[in-house]
Structures are given as C-alpha cells and as structure tokens.
Amino acid sequence: MSGSTVLVHGSLGGSGIPSTPGRARRWVRRLTSGDEIAHLITLIFAASIFLVTVLLVFELYRNSALPRHKFGWNFFVTSTWDPVAENFGALPFIYGTVVTSILALLIAVPLGVGGAIFLSELAPPRISDALTFVIELLAAVPSVIYGVLGVFVLVPLLRNYGEPVLKSTLGFLPLFQGPMYGVGFLAAGLVLAIMVVPFILSVSREVLLAVPLDQREAALALGATRWETTWKVVVPYARSGIFGSVFLALARALGETMAVTMVIGNDPKVAASLFAPGYSIAAVIANEFTEATGDLYTQALIELGLVLFILTFILNGLARLLILATTARGSEHA
C-alpha cells in the first residue's frame, strides 16, 4: 500500500475505541495507514519489555512461596543454612553480599573519583580521552576473567603478603584477625572494587566535565588553588551525579557472581574478620541451584534471588533519581 499522503505531525496518541459507525470508519482508515500500524507495532515491542520484567518478578515471587510461608521474616535474620534439617536462613548471604560490596565501594570510590578528577580537571584533553577509553575497556572485561585472575594472582598475593602485613599493622582490629586463607571477604571485596572502578570513574568524569566553566573560573578568580576549586566547588556541584554512579556501581557489585564465588571461600558464616571466608547471595545460587533437591531448598534459593532483585531495584531507582537531580540542576544554572 503506497500509504496516504496526509501529513501527520507529532505523535498520533493512543486511540480509544470509537463510539459511532462514522467514527469507526475513520478509525479503521487511520488504523490501516502505515503510521498507525507502525505505532502499534513499536508499542507492542516496547510493552513486551515491560511484560518480560513483570513476568520475571512474578516467576520469582511465585516460585519462592514455600520458604516465604514457612520462615516468613525470620528468613532474613537466621544464619543457619542447613539442607539436611531443611532450615534456611539468608543472613550469612545478605551479610556477605553487603560486606563485600561496601568494601568494594570503600576502595573504588576514592580511586574512581580521584581518577575522574584527574582526567576531567588536570589531564590534557587528548590524554584524558585516551586514558578514559582504556579505562572503559576495563568495564568490558568478562567477570569470569576477573575471577580467574583473582584465584591465580590476588589470592596468593593476599595470603602470602597482603594479609600478613595487615595483620601485623592493624591486627588489633577484629577486622584483621583470624587465620589467613587468602580467599575470603577481603579478596572478594578487592576483586569487586577493580570491577566497579571503571563505572565510577567514567560516569564521574562525565558529570565533572558537565559542571559549567564559570563555576570554576569564579573560584579561581577568588584565589582558590586548583585543588580547592575542584574539591570545594566542582565536586559538590556534581555531587548527586557522583552519588548516582556510586549507586550504579553498588548495584553491579551486589549482583556479581562468578568472580565472587571463585575467591570468597563459599562458607555460609557471618564473621567479623575480613580474612574469614564468607558467601554471597549470587554465589550460593550459582553453586547450589542445579542440585537443590527438594522444593523448599530450591525455593529458598529463588527467594534469595528475589531479595537480590529487590535490592538492585531500590538502588537503581535511587541512582536514577540522583543522576536526574544533577542534570536538572545543571540546566537550571545554565
């Protein structure tokens, strides 16, 4: 069909069901014109995304019914994970996920924001672009490769040098006590830090670059040093964007599976020391899902998946709000 020659501007909007025959005829004619079909088809595809997500959540919820009824809220505070006695508690996994992610952020945020400051304020544009390009490639490295390097490089380094050094200098803290295996919370946190640094760095660099020049110039004109300008004017201006990038990095760290399970020690215990082996939600699902015999066991794992999903849901929402706040503010002051 060659299509009508009627010009249409902007969106055609949603079509309601027509109420009279005359209107119906015109509605049908509009429907068969290419535009309406195109609108409908693209709408269907877009809607399918929404539907897939809803289906995902529904499946997770439906397939975790047994443990939700049996344990209720106790699931989140029990620390036994006993497949023999069929007693499941999520605490060790939530603890491990949270501890390793926080540790990762504690290392990655200074590194990432520091690097972003360097690349946005100090480095000449060509070098900045080249280095950023290289750093963004880090984000593309598959996680299993991080895991392999963790096992063969990081863990022996920690066991032989890193942990003994920490123990001898900071051993009075409960964080650095106990036997040193190499694998454990510390190794997992470090691997995660390396994995999320590129995200923090590249997003922070973008938001720092977006800060209007006159802010910087005003500070410098008042006699501030470069560092003072950056730290006291530019960074606070871009603060919400940076926080947004941190939340995004956190969401990524929470869901990371392979690299963590290869270096965390896979022991479902809550422990104060970073040297101790632990477990994370994603790691236990990866290890035990294919063999969880019995519905309660399987569904307990799925409930863990649901918990993880909800965590990332909340964090993503917060991140978007924060990044939005930055861009809104930016346009206000433009």
Partner 1 sequence: MNYRLLWRKTVNNIMLALTGVCALVTVAILFFILGYLVWNGGRDINWAFLTQLPKPVGETGGGMANAIVGSAKLLLVAALVGIPVGFIGGVYLSEFGGSAFPAVVRYTADLLNGVPSIVMGIFAYTVVVLPMHHFSALAGGLALGVMLIPIVLRTTEEFLRAVPQSLREGALALGANKWRAISSVVIPAAFRGIATGMLLSLARVAGETAPLLFTSFGNRFWSHGFNEATSSLPVMIYTYAISAYEDWHRQAWAAGLVLLALVLVANIGARVILARRQSPARG
Partner 2 sequence: MKRLTALALGFSGLAATVFLGLLSFPKPSSPAPAPPADRLQIIGAGATFPYPIYSKWFDEYHKAHPDIEINYQSIGSGGGIRQLLSGTVDFGASDGPMTDEQLGQARFKVLHFPTVLGADVPTYNIPGVSAELKFTPAALAGVFLGKITKWNDPELTKTNAGVSLPGNDIVVVHRSEGSGTTYIWTDYLSKISDEWKTKVGRNASVNWPVGLGAKGNEAVSGLIKNTPYSIGYVELIYAIQNHITYGRVQNAAGNFIKADLASVTEAAAGAAKEMPDDFRVSITNAPGKNAYPISSFTWLLIPAKIDNAQKKQVITDFLHWMMTDGQKYCEPLAYAPLPKAVVAKEEKAISRID
DSSP string covering 147-162? HHHIIIIIHHHIIIII
Can you tell me which of 34, 171, 236, 294 binds partner 1, judged by CB under 8 A?
Answer: 34
70 lines the binding site for partner 1 (CB under 8 A):
no
- For residue 269, what are the CA distances in angstroms to 95, 142, 224? 9, 28, 50
Q: Which residue is associated with the tokens 């309406």?
A: 36
Binding of partner 1 at residue 295 (CB under 8 A)?
no
Q: Which is nearer to partner 2, 75 or 199 (CB)?
A: 75
Which one of 47-55, 81-89, 157-165, 168-176 is the stretch in contact with partner 1 (CB under 8 A)?
A: 47-55
CA angle centred on 300, ends 270 and 260, rounded to 5°: 50
Residues near partner 2 (CB under 8 A) are 80-85, 151, 155-156, 159, 179, 181-183, 261, 265-267, 277, 279, 287-288, 290-294, 298
Choice from 98, 131, 157, 272 touching partner 1 (CB under 8 A): 131
Interacting residue with partner 1 among 24, 31, 55, 165 (CB under 8 A): 55
CB of 319 to partner 1, least distance (A): 9
What is the contact mask toward partner 1 in residues 307 to 326, using x (rule: CB under 8 A)?
-xx--xx-xx---x------
**Which DSSP symbol is given to 153?**
I
Query: Does 290 participate in binding partner 1 (rule CB under 8 A)?
Result: yes
How is residue 81 written in tokens? 């994970």
> 88 or 199: whose CB is closer to partner 2?
88
147 binds, among partner 1, partner 2, none (CB under 5 to 8 A by kind): partner 1
CA dist 252 to 104, 133, 203, 246, 315, Å? 11, 20, 14, 10, 10
Backbone angles phi and psi of 239, in degrees to 5: -55, -50
Tell me the helix, strand and coil percentages in the chain, rounded to 5.
75, 0, 25
Chain centroid, CA 212 distance in Å: 28
Q: What SS3 class is residue 87?
A: strand
- Taking each helix axis from N to C end, the angle separating 21-32 and 34-62, rounded to the nearest 10 degrees, works out to 90
- Least distance CB 67 / partner 1 (angstroms): 14
Count of chain residues binding partner 1 (CB under 8 A): 101
Q: Choose one: 85-93, 134-142, 165-173, 175-183; the region binding partner 1 (CB under 8 A).
A: 134-142
Q: Of 86 and 228, which has the nearer Cβ to partner 2?
A: 86
Measured from the CB of residue 272, what is the shortest distance to partner 1 in angstroms? 26
- Which one of partner 1, partner 2, none is in contact with 179 (Cβ closer than 5 to 8 A by kind)? partner 2
Binding to partner 1 by residue 143, rule CB under 8 A?
yes
Q: Which does 149 bind (CB under 5 to 8 A by kind): partner 2, partner 1, none?
A: partner 1
Kindly indicate which of the ranges 78-86, 133-141, 159-167, 270-278 contains the residues binding partner 1, using the contact rule CB under 8 A. Answer: 133-141
Strand partners for 276: none
Phi and psi at 88, nearest 5°, equal -120, 130
**Whole-number minimum distance, CB 50 to partner 1, in Å?**
5
Instruction: Report d(CA 115, CA 227) in Å as an integer.
Output: 13
Residues 167-196 that bind partner 1 (CB under 8 A): 194
Output the CA angle 94-287-315, nearest 5 degrees.
35
* C-alpha–C-alpha distance, residues 155 and 186, integer Å: 10
